[in-house]
């Protein structure tokens, strides 16, 4: 059984759609960073998406853990032409498409971007590789809101629209066990308290 501890990167303070747009994380809440580091298994391996906000968060929390190479397949959803635009700009530019993208996610994609289903398949391929490489240990994955939601949805058998209602705060932990007989969601959006 592989124990996946999904950690959302530190806050970016972005007010626009931020997918593959590479922006830094704010890691200045040293108290929260220390609490997160303290609950991560010391013997876990750590991996992150290759986007700077995830990479910097993983580097800051790695401590004694083996830091695996970054994986591009763990990136946030690719919002294509919408990346870096405010939600109101997207709605004005592509009103029907943007509404469908959020209300009926699945195969609908932004212009030059990827759909929920495409992103989920990309992310799942990375998860399968990690589970095969670490079949009996803990893997801390520093990733993104959408990346983590695909795993929650897959574990719970939820449709994408239901998963989008789930909150995933910056620096929160979502824990999923991965075994041959199935997956189990142990906790979601957990923020260690002082």
Extract the runs of DSSP E, i.e. beta strands, from the chain: 2-8, 45-48, 66-67, 138-143, 173-179, 182-190
**Structural tokens at position 174:** 């979502």
| Residue 184, pLDDT score | 98
pLDDT digits 0-9 by tens, 27-51: 999 999 999 999 999 999 999 999 9
Q: What does the domain layout of the chain look like in residue ranges? A: 2-78+115-190
Cβ(147)–Cβ(74) under 8 Å? yes
Which percentage of the chain shows pLDDT scores above 90?
Answer: 98
Domain 2-78+115-190 has CATH 3.40.50.970: no
Cβ(73)–Cβ(122) under 8 Å? yes
| Residue 129, pLDDT score | 97
Q: Taking residues 174-187, report their average pLDDT.
A: 96
pLDDT digits 0-9 by tens, 105-157: 999 999 999 999 999 999 999 999 999 999 999 999 999 999 999 999 999 99
User: Among all chains, which residue has been given the structure tokens 């970054």?
Assistant: 70
| Residue 174, pLDDT score | 98
Q: What is the mean pLDDT of the chain?
A: 97
In this prediction the pTM is 0.96
d(CA 192, CA 6) in angstroms, rounded, equals 14
């Amino acid at each position: 059984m592989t124990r996946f501890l999904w950690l959302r990167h530190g806050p970016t303070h972005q007010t626009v759609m931020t997918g593959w747009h590479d922006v830094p994380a704010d890691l200045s809440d040293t108290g929260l960073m220390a609490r997160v580091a303290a609950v991560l298994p010391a013997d876990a391996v750590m991996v992150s998406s290759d986007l700077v906000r995830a990479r910097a968060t993983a580097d800051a929390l790695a401590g004694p853990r083996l830091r695996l190479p970054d994986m591009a397949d763990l990136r946030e959803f690719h919002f294509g032409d919408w990346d870096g635009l405010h939600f109101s700009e997207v709605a004005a530019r592509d009103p029907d498409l943007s509404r469908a993208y959020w209300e009926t996610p699945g195969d609908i994609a932004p212009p030059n971007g990827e759909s929920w289903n495409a992103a989920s398949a990309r992310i799942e391929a990375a998860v399968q590789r990690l589970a095969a490489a670490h079949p009996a240990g803990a893997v801390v994955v520093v990733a993104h809101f959408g990346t983590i939601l695909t795993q929650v949805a897959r574990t719970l058998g939820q449709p994408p629209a239901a998963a989008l209602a789930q909150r995933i705060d910056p620096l929160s932990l979502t824990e999923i066990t991965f075994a041959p007989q199935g997956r189990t969601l142990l906790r979601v959006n957990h923020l260690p308290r002082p």
